[in-house]
Structure 1
Amino acid sequence: MADTFTIKQGDTSPALARVLETAQGPIPLEVGDRVTFSMRRPYGGPVVVDRQPCQITPEGVVVYYWADTDTALPGLHEAEFQITRADGAIETVPNGGYLVINVVGAVA
């Protein structure tokens, strides 16, 4: 079952916060690692958020802070995080699908 995050159209809060995991468990993040966030419309649709930087907390939680333009288009979106290790290795999470972002249309 896909992980789903719901936010209202035009909102910038709450931030998207996740512990990045694979089937083997949480992914340890090291000093020097960089994590970015990307989001697009489903089925290869247009990219809405393109590799924007995330904050990594001391506890290893990855946090993406929304811009108002990120949530301007209501509907379902596919998203992923990309970890770039200090040595240049790259890992994309989730690696077996996508995080689903549900942007609910605003009334006004």
Structure 2
Amino acid sequence: MADTFTIKQGDTSPALARVLETAQGPIPLEVGDRVTFSMRRPYGGPVIVDRQPCQIREGNVVVYFWHDRDTAVPGLHEGEFQITRADGSIETVPNGGYLVVNVVETVA
């Protein structure tokens, strides 16, 4: 089952917080690692969030803080995190699909 995050159209809260993991378990993050978040419309649609920086918090929690333009378009979106290690190696999570971001349309 895909991981789904739901937020209302135009909202900037709550932030998107995740412990990044693969089928082998949580991914340890090290000092010097950088994590970004990207999101697009499904099936190769336009990119809405393009490699925006995330905070790395204690316990390997990664947090992306939304901008109002990120949630302007209602519907399902595909998201992913990219870890760039201090040595330059790159890992994308999830590596077997996407995080589903459901932007729910507002009433007015």
| TM-score relative to the length of structure 2 | 0.99
The whole-number CA distance in structure 2 between the counterparts of 1:58 and 1:101 is 24
Identity of aligned residues (%): 87
Aligned residues between the structures: 108
Large movers: runs of 4+ above 2 Å:
none
**Deviation of residue 17 (structure 1)?**
0.2
Structure 2 residue 36 is matched with structure 1 residue 36: yes
Q: How does 1:1-16 map to 2 (within 5 A)?
A: 1-16=1-16
**How far, CA to CA, are the matches of 2:59 and 2:21 in structure 1?**
14
Instruction: Describe how 1:1-108 pairs up with structure 2 within 5 A.
Output: 1-108=1-108
Cα-Cα RMSD: 0.3
Q: 5+ residue gaps in structure 1?
A: none
Gaps of 5+ in 2: none
In 2, the alpha carbon distance for the partners of 1:58 and 1:103 equals 28
Q: TM-score, normalised by structure 1?
A: 0.99
Q: What amino acid does structure 1 have at the position aligned with 2:92? A: T
SS at 1:2's partner residue?
A: coil
- 1:23 deviates by 0.3
